Amino acid sequence: MAIWVMFLIWSKSILYVSHDTIIILTADHGGTGTGHGTATTRANYTIPVLVWGSGVAPSADLYVLNPNSRLNPGTGRPSYTAIGQPIRNGDTGNLALQLLGLGPVDGSTINASQDLLVASAFSADFDANQMVDMNDLTIWKAGYGTTTGATLANGDATLDGSVDGKEFLIWQREYGSSLVITLTAVPEPDCVFLASLGFICMLPQFVHARSAGLSNCLLLRSIYFNMITGLIRCVVHSWQWKDLCP
């Protein structure tokens, strides 16, 4: 019972946080071996910039989201004065402030305009899944005829509070647009399978403990500890960076 209570509390906490949190992950430099001193080595100057959370485009490429303000350098290493800047780790400071509803860092020169986008800009993406498809048309049909108080979720692509033919024309123009990258699925063990495997692995410990004459209290503590450890491992293994922006 105690384990299930802890699991329910953990689940509710994750659900609460996931609706109100955005995580930005990056690094100050790359590296090869135990160093990063050679400036011309790509592995030393290439770093990840990952964004995950509420409202972030799932499985999208940040360069695809920002075609007019950022340029993918490929294998190059452009200077800070080059025309067409790449996404740098310095972008993330003002990005974080922007997501918090705050202005840029005083005197900052990277992303000072706070124009790094992490979400879709499709006007007809009514269900906010980073693509314009038939589901969005269904939403527009349901909201069609609304004259006041409509939102994007109701099919209002022009954000004027109404849903009419203008929205349909926008949907028609954007139909088929998508920011979602198709990834090859990597098979992952099912949690039930992992839990069962953990229980099987615990049986020898149980038999050994009984043969050693340990008390039921110690046995329960051992079982609880192993089950909680197995559950945490299962969750950590299953939670991949599926919704992160590379």
pTM of the model: 0.51
C-alpha 198/C-alpha 107 separation (Å) is 54
Each of the 246 residues of the chain gets a pLDDT tens digit; together they read 444 444 444 455 555 555 668 899 999 888 888 888 888 888 988 999 999 887 787 777 888 888 888 999 988 999 999 999 999 999 999 999 988 888 999 999 999 999 898 877 688 988 877 789 999 999 999 999 999 998 888 999 988 899 999 999 999 999 998 766 543 444 444 555 555 555 555 555 544 545 555 455 554 555 555 556 555 554 444 443 333 333
Residue type, 168: F
- Checking 107-114 for CB contacts under 8 A at 24+ apart, the result is 109/80
User: Which amino acid is present at 203?
Assistant: L
Angle between helices 134-143 and 165-174 (to 10 degrees): 180
DSSP state of 105: P
Tokens found for residue 223: 């079982």
